[in-house]
Chains A and B, each alone.
Chain A
Amino acid sequence: MECSLAGNEYIKYILDTYSKMIVRLAFTYTKSLCDAEDIAQDVFVSLIEKNKKFESPEHEKAWLIRVTVNKSKNFVKSSWVKKTVPIEEAETKAVEHKSDDILAEVVALPEKYRTVIHLFYYEGYSIKEIAKILGKTTGTVGTWLARGRQMLKDRLEGGFEDD
């Protein structure tokens, strides 16, 4: 959609508009800002290489989210990541505890719950929209959201409420 912009302007537009969103989403997978930034760069490069035409800003954003999720999954599944566990994570895994760090608890959720939680609560997407972005049924997304929410309630001191 923004193809009317010249190349440099388009790059600037993309960076300004989506950098934070993509890095933050990727972070929920990588738990590392550096890795999340690497993924975000890859996402942007893919966008340029594909010369993708979008019907609307929403379409563009949804595509970027999808690509980010896929790249993040890819990253997490990589052999390097699989073989390494951050010291901090290893320590937290060793002790069951209630936490007051909501971000830490969200990123500790199983991947599918974490993504849905993030898209629902942070990006403000509806279940239907998330289902479309992730290519899942609304029922599946609804279930993941409910389970993720329940896990957060169990893990967080003071539970977790929508409002």
Chain B
Amino acid sequence: MTKNDYISAVDKIEPSAEFYEKAERRMREAQRAKTKYVNGAMALKWATAACALVVAVTGVTLVVSNGYKFTAMNDKAAVYDDACSLEAGNEENSVVEDVKEETAAETTAGQTVFGYSGGSAKGADGEKGTPATTEAAKEDTADVTPVENDAPATTTVAATAMHETTTEVVANPCSDDDEMMGGITATSAYVPVEAEIITKNGKAYILITNKSGKLITTGLDYELYSFSDGNRERIEVAVDELAAEVPDGKTLEIPVDVKLGDGKYYVKKYFSGLDYTAECKFAVKDGKIVI
């Protein structure tokens, strides 16, 4: 037999007429639904903070209010997005893709996987405004669209996660979902990485090292503080949101785009949804970071 035999055999597989009708109908519905998205309430640059969820693999399926569904299958962990599930990855890397089969296979019961989203806001009423099509600004972070109106904190947001994965999150879904919180609690001891600060080429970098061989969460928040005499003050700092799987023992550099005056600082790295932070202290002297 030859490849032509295979081609001939496959050519015999024809979608039915019903398929075309149904597919067209569903696509039109999807198109209509998409136009309902409107710019809404608030910037959720750290939508992750509210919505990055961690679930211990316990054999349960949790469908949480932010649209993510975490499913444990065959003692493997998997993260699904209701909208796109595993296809959220594209031909480049993506976080959701990181939880595709191969990665999930490395994640056994009791370990954790993360999903997160950032995104733009959608009005609570879902009616007014212009369609908000939020493209991921980077492969790891959605470009959050700041909005002006003063919708309530519970405003539903339409988060476009990395790679244009559209899902819906609510501003604070974690607070009212007991099941989900249980999952988070169960994984609170998971401490997979270490962080440190270095300088290179005049820039400060946060180095994250995966010590566990597990996935590193992408739902990282960074807070930079100065401190002296036991007091600390938060410094607003633009830190590239991270989304990557870091192989065991490897480091990932996250540039900190901020000029720091002399003083003492530390970086607090908050794992969204986890009761865990990693802190790294450093000092700046003569404009240079001293670890």
Enumerate chain A interface residues (CB-CB to B < 8 A): 7-8, 11-12, 14-15, 19-20, 23-24, 27, 33, 36-37, 40-41, 43-53, 59, 62-63, 66-68, 70-71, 73-74, 77, 79, 82, 100-103, 106, 117-118, 121-122, 132-133, 135, 152, 156-163
Contact = CB atoms under 8 A, between A and B. Distances in A.
B15 A71 contact: no
The 6 A-B pairs at the shortest CB distance, nearest first, are namely A103-B9, A67-B87, A70-B87, A50-B164, A48-B30, A70-B86
B31 A7 contact: yes
B20 A45 contact: no
A72 B110 CA distance: 26
B185 interface: no
Contacts of A152: 1
Given A7-B31, A66-B91, A135-B93, A41 B19 contact: yes
Given A7-B31, A163-B3, A51 B16 contact: no
A71 B23 contact: no
A73 B4 CA distance: 26
Chain B contact-residue range equals 35 or more
Given A11-B31, A19-B15, A102-B5, A44 B73 contact: no
Contacts of B30: 45, 48-49
17 contacts: A19-B19, A24-B10, A36-B13, A37-B19, A43-B87, A49-B33, A49-B34, A51-B34, A51-B133, A51-B164, A70-B89, A77-B73, A77-B101, A79-B73, A135-B89, A158-B1, A161-B3
Interface string B67-96: 000000110001010011111011101000
B1 A161 contact: yes
A158 B80 CA distance: 43
A106 B123 CA distance: 49
Contacts of B13: 20, 23-24, 27, 33, 36
Contacts, number: 149
Interface of B: 1-7, 9-10, 13-16, 18-20, 22-24, 26-28, 30-31, 33-34, 73-74, 78, 80, 83-87, 89-91, 93, 97, 100-101, 133, 135, 164-166
B16 A37 contact: yes
B100 A23 contact: no
A80 B13 CA distance: 24
A68 B87 CA distance: 8
A68 B16 CA distance: 18
Nearest to B7: A122
B85 A71 contact: yes
B91 to A, nearest CB: 6
B87 A71 contact: yes
A53 B74 CA distance: 36
Contacts of A162: 2-3
A45 B15 contact: no
A63 B83 contact: no
Interface centre among A51, A132, A152 (most CB of B within 10 A): A51
A117 to B, nearest CB: 8
A74 B22 contact: no
A59 B101 CA distance: 23
B100 A161 contact: no
Contacts of B86: 70-71, 73-74
Contacts of B20: 15, 19
Contacts of A101: 9
A15 B84 CA distance: 19
A49 B28 CA distance: 10
A161 B2 CA distance: 5
Contact of B26 (A8, A12, A45, A133): A45
A50 B166 contact: yes
Contact of B16 (A33, A48, A70): A33
Nearest to A77: B73
A159 B1 contact: yes
Contacts of A44: 23, 26-27
B226 to A, nearest CB: 41
Contact of A48 (B3, B14, B22, B34): B34
A67 B251 CA distance: 29
A132 B91 contact: yes
